[in-house]
C-alpha cells in the first residue's frame, strides 16, 4: 500500500490504480482549458472574435442557427483537434478547413450541406467524420486517397447515390454508416478495408439491389446491417465472415438464402452460403443429378439419427444432407461424379483418363 501511495503521488497511478492516471487527467484538463464553447446560443452569425484562436483545441459551435462560418476564423484554428458545428443551418463549409492539419474529429451533422469541400482531404489527421442528416448528393471523389487515418465515416440520412471509389483506400476505417441514402451499389475494392468492423447500409430501399462479393472478404467485420433494401441474394462469400456477430437483413426480398434460413441465426446462414459457394454450378445443378446417384447406389448416404433420407424423387436437399457432401464439393470431384462420367457405357473400362 505504501508503494502504491508513493506511485500515486508521483503520478504513475490514478485513484483506481492504473498507470498514467495523472497524465490523462492533466491532458483532459489542458484540453478543457483550450476549449471554446459557443453552443446553444441561438446565433445567426459568429461575432467578431478578437481572442487568439491559435490555442483553441476544441471549438463547439453546435446547436445554433449559423448559415456560414467565415473563412478567416477557420484559418486561425491552427491547433484545433475537435470541430463541432452540428445542428446549424450551414449550406457549405469554408475551403479553409483544409488548413486544419491537426483536426481529428469533425462533426457537421444536421445541416443543409449538399457537398463537402475538396480541401477536406487536406485534413490528413482526421479520424472521425460525421456528416449525417444533410442534403449530400456526393462526397469528394478523392476523399479516401488522403484520409488514411480515418477510423469512422458516418454519412447516414443524406441523398448519396454512391460512395467514392477511393473509399477502398481508407484502410484504417473501422465503422462505415451509410444508411438512409439512395445507394445503388457499394464501391469496388471493399476487401482492402481490412480493419472494418461495422458496416451499415440499411434503408437504401429500392435502390440497393445487391452486395458485392468483396463484402465476404472483410475479415474483421463484426456487425453488418443490410435491412430494408431490395436485395434478393447474399453473396456466397459471406459464408467466410467468421467474426460476424450481428447481422440484419429484414425487409429484403431474400431468396438465397431464404429468410427462414437467415432467421435460424448466423451459423445456419454461414453454413448455407458456404455450401453454395463450394458447389460447381450452384444448388440447382446438384438437385438435378444427386438424387440419381442415390437411386443407382453410386454412393450411399450415411444416415444418422435426426437426419432426413434423400429419396429419389426429392427435388432438393435439406441443409444437414447438403453439409454431408463437404468431401466432394470441389469442382474437380463434381466433374468426376457427373452423370455423364458415371453412367456412360465407356466408363465400364478400367482405363483412366
Domain boundaries in the chain?
30-135, 157-281
Task: For residues 14 and 345, give the distance between their C-alpha atoms in angstroms, rounded to a whole number.
Answer: 83
- DSSP at 142: T
Task: For residues 308 and 275, give the distance between their C-alpha atoms in angstroms, rounded to a whole number.
Answer: 17
Structure confidence at residue 8 (pLDDT): 41
The β-bridge partners of 256 are 233
CATH superfamily of 30-135: Ribonuclease Inhibitor (3.80.10.10)
30-135 and 157-281 in the same fold = yes
Task: For residues 232 and 245, give the distance between their C-alpha atoms in angstroms, rounded to a whole number.
Answer: 22
Contact 51, 77 (CB under 8 A): no
Give 327's contacts (C-beta < 8 A, 6+ positions apart): 333
Gyration radius of the chain over CA positions: 29
The grid coordinates of residue 253 equal: 426480398
For cell 500500500, the residue is 1
Provide the CB-side half-sphere exposure for 217 (13 A, CA).
Answer: 10
Task: For residues 217 and 234, give the distance between their C-alpha atoms in angstroms, rounded to a whole number.
Answer: 13
Structure confidence at residue 85 (pLDDT): 98
Q: What is the mean pLDDT of each run of 10 residues along the chain (353 residues)?
A: 44 41 54 84 92 94 97 96 98 97 98 97 98 98 96 98 97 98 97 98 98 97 98 97 97 96 96 87 42 38 39 36 39 46 46 41
The distance of Cα 62 from the centroid of its chain, to the nearest Å, equals 27
Provide the CB-side half-sphere exposure for 64 (13 A, CA).
Answer: 20
Structure confidence at residue 187 (pLDDT): 97
Opening angle at CA 174, ends 87 and 18, nearest 5: 90
Q: Compute the residue count for the chain.
A: 353
Torsion of CA 15, 19, 25, 28, to 10 degrees: -140
Opening angle at CA 228, ends 223 and 232, nearest 5: 90
Identify the CATH number of the domain defined by range 157-281. Answer: 3.80.10.10
Give 252's contacts (C-beta < 8 A, 6+ positions apart): 226, 227, 228, 229, 230, 231, 232, 259
Amino acid at each position: 500500500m505504501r508503494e502504491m501511495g508513493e506511485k500515486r503521488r508521483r503520478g504513475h497511478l490514478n485513484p483506481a490504480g492504473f498507470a498514467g492516471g495523472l497524465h490523462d487527467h492533466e491532458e483532459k484538463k489542458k484540453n478543457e482549458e483550450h476549449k471554446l464553447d459557443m453552443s446553444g446560443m441561438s446565433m445567426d452569425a459568429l461575432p467578431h472574435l478578437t481572442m487568439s484562436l491559435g490555442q483553441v483545441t476544441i471549438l463547439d459551435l453546435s446547436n445554433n442557427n449559423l448559415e456560414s462560418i467565415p473563412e478567416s476564423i477557420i484559418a486561425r484554428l491552427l491547433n484545433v483537434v475537435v470541430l463541432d458545428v452540428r445542428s446549424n443551418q450551414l449550406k457549405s463549409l469554408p475551403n479553409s478547413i483544409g488548413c486544419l492539419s491537426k483536426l481529428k474529429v469533425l462533426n457537421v451533422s444536421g445541416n443543409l450541406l449538399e457537398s463537402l469541400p475538396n480541401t477536406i482531404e487536406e485534413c490528413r489527421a482526421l479520424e472521425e467524420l460525421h456528416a449525417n442528416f444533410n442534403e449530400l448528393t456526393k462526397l469528394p471523389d478523392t476523399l479516401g486517397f488522403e484520409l488514411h487515418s480515418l477510423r469512422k465515416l458516418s454519412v447516414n440520412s443524406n441523398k448519396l447515390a454512391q460512395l467514392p471509389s477511393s473509399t477502398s483506400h481508407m484502410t484504417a476505417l473501422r465503422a462505415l454508416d451509410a444508411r438512409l441514402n439512395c445507394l445503388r451499389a457499394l464501391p469496388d475494392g471493399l476487401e482492402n478495408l481490412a480493419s472494418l468492423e461495422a458496416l451499415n447500409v440499411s434503408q437504401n430501399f429500392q435502390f440497393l439491389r445487391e452486395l458485392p462479393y468483396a463484402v465476404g472478404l472483410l475479415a474483421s467485420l463484426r456487425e453488418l446491417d443490410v435491412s430494408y433494401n431490395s436485395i434478393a441474394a447474399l453473396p456466397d462469400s459471406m459464408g467466410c465472415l467468421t467474426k460476424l456477430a450481428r447481422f440484419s437483413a429484414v425487409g429484403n426480398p431474400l431468396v438465397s438464402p431464404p429468410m427462414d434460413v437467415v432467421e435460424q441465426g448466423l451459423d445456419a446462414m454461414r453454413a448455407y452460403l458456404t455450401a453454395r459457394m463450394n458447389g460447381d454450378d450452384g444448388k440447382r445443378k446438384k438437385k438435378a443429378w444427386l438424387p440419381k446417384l442415390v437411386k443407382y447406389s453410386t454412393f450411399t448416404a450415411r444416415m444418422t439419427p435426426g437426419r432426413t433420407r434423400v429419396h429419389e424423387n426429392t427435388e432438393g436437399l435439406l441443409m444437414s444432407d447438403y453439409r454431408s457432401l463437404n468431401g466432394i464439393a470441389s469442382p474437380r470431384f463434381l466433374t468426376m461424379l457427373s452423370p455423364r462420367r458415371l453412367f456412360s457405357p465407356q466408363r465400364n473400362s478400367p482405363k483412366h483418363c
